[in-house]
Structure formats: structure tokens, C-alpha cells
Amino acid sequence: METKLIEYIVTIAKHKSISRAAEELYVTQSALNQQLLKLEKELDAPLFCRARNNWELTEIGKLYVENSERILQIKRETYDQIQDMSQKWKGTITIRLTPERGIQMFTAIYPKIHAKYPDTTFQPIEADVDSQVRLLDSNELDISFQTIYERKYKHLVYKEIFKEPFYLCIPKTHPLAYKEKLAPEHYPEISLTEFRNDLFTLVKKSSTMRVVIDRLFEESAFKPKLLFESTSMRTMQKLTENGQCCSIIPRCYAISSDGVSYYSLGQNASWELAAVYTKNHYITLAAKDFIYMASDYWTAHPYIE
């Protein structure tokens, strides 16, 4: 199925630049321009409004690109289904991973998934949630592993891997700390209102997790006194261990320590780790197996050591 020409046009539209498109496609700008002019002559209509640094699609160009993207999607899904039927897998599966634990999971299961699908490339990438959704919608991303507090997008499929609780982490020197070591399933539940006079170090406002945490404080009817905000859960835990503040961290970072006590904050103090993909995107057997292996891994390894 020859689709090179429409791939050229879609790439120009993506970059809004013929020079940047030529770089991505590994063709000369002159050769790419000749292909575009030939197509416009065939259609007897311009596809782009040319400007020095910004090529915008004409109305006809928008129609051409919209239908071209559908054709490319059909091609990809047809080839993927043929590979699944023939059990001759190859190609690339792009996967967005969560920071830290995502890469840790990937390196742990890669030998197993590679042994099963030696001709398939599993390509990990990092992107924020909004970028992930755009990549999923444009079929540039096959699977996204996300930590979320709500299933925000109705056109996406969310496959739950697990519900992850957040724990209140307090110094062992705190008057409300318990002295014995407890397993996570035995962490006692406590109200945040007991800590309205304490200092906190919390994850930064830009984090998805912070949305949940802020709601917990709103329900407790007070604003926390902040020592500072951090992007590092390990830093937050270390500061708590050193007796400088309290913090709230997800289960995967809540490693047993002689310097801290953990408390449950109830059912509302949690988020979901899910594998996410678009409803109209064909998920190959190799991609499904990757999700299964990731789920098995996280079930067996709930903590980052």
C-alpha cells in the first residue's frame, strides 16, 4: 500500500514548514517541494498558504490532510492485524511511561517482552499528560501509562492496573507517631485535621497528585503551612525522616523506615495507575502483552527501592 506522498503532505502540515518536514523525512527540500507542486497541479488547488516560517493549510488542504490521516491509520491498523494473524510481528510500539517507576518497570520486563517479540521495537518516551493525549490522538503514541485522579477523556480507554493510596508521612519524633513497624495494610487511619499546626513539604502544584492532596486539605478545612514544594518524593521523605516536616507520598515511595510513621488518609487519598489508549486505535497482541507484563510487574513490585 503506497502512501509516501500523503505521508509527505501530512508531515509538512504537522511542522507547518517544508524545511522541517524535509529534515524529518530525510529528503531534500527541493524534492519534497516538487512532490507537493505535482500534487497541487493534479488537484488544481493549493494545499498550503505559503509563508516564510509558517505554512498554514488551505480549506482544501485541511480536507486532504484529515482524510490522509484516516488512510494512514487504516494502513497501520491493517498491517498490525495482518501481523497478529500471521504471528509475524515487527514494527514499533511507542509507550509513554511514568517518571522513575516507569523506566524501572521497562528495564525489568524488556528482556522478557523482547524475547517474545524480537522483531518489534518497544520505544519508551516521556511526555506530560496533555502532550500524551495529543500524541495518542494523532496515533504517534500507542500506549500511555498514566497516574490519574479521574478518567477525564471520554474517547480514551483506561485499563486499570491498580489503585494507589497516598500516605501521610510523619517523623518518628512527632507526638502522634507510633513506634512499632507496621505493614502497609495495617497503617492506621488518621485525620489531617490533627496536623493543622505542622509544617508540610508537598509535591509541586503542577503535579496531578497535588490536585488530590489539595482536595484532602480542603475537606479538612485548613491550608497547610508549607516548608517548600518539591518534585522529588525521595527529598520529601528524607526531610520528614530528618524531623523537619510532614509530607504526603504515594505508596510506591513509602518505604519502611526507622525515621517515619505512615498513616492512611482514607479512600479519597488515592489515584489510579492505568494503561491508556484511544478507542479507535488497534492494540496489537505485542502491545497487549506489554500491558499484561507491566501490570504483573507493578503488582509484584509496589515500591521503588
Banded model confidence at residue 159, pLDDT cuts 50, 70, 90: very high
Report the pLDDT averaged over residues 86-106: 85
- Region 72-90: mean pLDDT is 80
**Domain at 9, CATH number:** 1.10.10.10
> How confident is the model at residue 1, as a pLDDT?
63
21: cell is: 518536514
Sequence-distant (≥ 6) Cβ neighbours of residue 16 within 8 angstroms: 54, 55, 56
Let me know if residue 21 belongs to a domain: yes
Domain stops at, among 83, 106, 137: 83
Q: What is the mean pLDDT of residues 182-186?
A: 85
Domain that holds residue 72: 4-83
Are the C-beta atoms of 247 and 237 separated by less than 8 Å? Answer: yes
Q: Are residues 277 and 151 in the same domain?
A: yes
Q: Is the pLDDT of residue 5 over 70?
A: yes
The CATH number covering residue 252 comes to 3.40.190.290
Say which residue, 31 or 77, is predicted with more confidence: 31
| Closest alpha carbon to 263 in 150, 202, 177, 197 | 177
| CATH code of residue 121 | 3.40.190.10
Same domain for 286 and 152: yes
| pLDDT range class, residue 223, cuts 50, 70, 90 | very high
Are residue 13 and residue 132 in the same domain, yes or no?
Answer: no
Say if residue 155 is in the same domain as residue 277.
Answer: yes
pLDDT at residue 110 above 70?
yes
Read off the pLDDT of residues 28-73 as tens digits, 9 standing for 90 and up: 999 999 999 999 999 999 999 988 788 999 999 999 999 998 888 8
SS3 label, residue 41: helix
- Answer for the pair 226, 199: CB distance below 8 angstroms, yes or no: yes
What distance in Å separates the CA atoms of residue 125 and residue 290, rounded to the nearest whole number?
15
Residue 183 grid coordinates: 505493614
Taking 70 as the threshold, does the pLDDT of residue 305 lie above it? no
Residue 305 lies in a domain: no
Threshold 0.75, pTM exceeds: no
Per-residue pLDDT at 85: 78
Query: What is the reported pLDDT for 38?
Result: 92
Residue with cell 518497570: 105
- Taking only the tens place, the pLDDT of each residue in 7-39 is 899 999 999 999 999 999 999 999 999 999 999
**Whether residue 28 sits in one domain with residue 60:** yes
Give me the pLDDT at residue 249, please.
Answer: 94
Q: Please give the angle made by the CA atoms of 76, 15 and 72, to the nearest 5 degrees.
A: 15
User: Do both 52 and 146 map to the same domain?
Assistant: no
Give the total number of structural domains in the chain. 3
Q: Do residues 94 and 235 share a domain?
A: no
User: Are 204 and 139 within one domain?
Assistant: no
Shared domain for 157 and 171, answered yes or no, is: no
The percentage of the chain sitting over the pLDDT mark of 90, rounded to a whole number, equals 61
Mean pLDDT of the chain: 90
